[in-house]
Amino acid sequence: MADVEERIRAVLAAHARMPGGVEALDDTADLYAAGMTSHASVNVMLAIEDEFDVEFPERLLRKDTFASVSAIRIALEELLGA
């Protein structure tokens, strides 16, 4: 799943608009506390859907789904059937 995490981080780097970037953040670090806005999280969600060719169901359209790299990875594992 290292490749998945790298791809998630690349999407975050391009779309999360966090002042300090995502590179140095731990997998469980709160992305919102690091500066990601709710508007940016929508852009991240759309970019993740494009990157992984998935669609987040309504039940996963919650703030906590996109709160950390780890949370995004867990949601993707479920959607990808890993």
Residue 19 has pLDDT above 90, yes or no: no
Least-confidence region, from 18-22, 26-30, 39-43, 54-58: 18-22
> In angstroms, rounded to a whole number, what is the distance separating the alpha carbons of residues 58 and 60?
5
Contact call for residues 25 and 34 (beta carbons, < 8 A): yes
Q: What per-residue confidence (pLDDT) applies to 82?
A: 57
For residue range 31-76, what is the model confidence (pLDDT) as tens digits? 999 999 999 999 999 999 999 999 999 999 999 999 999 999 999 9
Domain count for the chain: 1
Q: What is the CATH number of the domain that holds 30?
A: 1.10.1200.10
Extract the tokens encoding 7: 């791809």
Does pLDDT of 7 surpass 60? yes
pTM value?
Answer: 0.92
pLDDT number for residue 1: 57
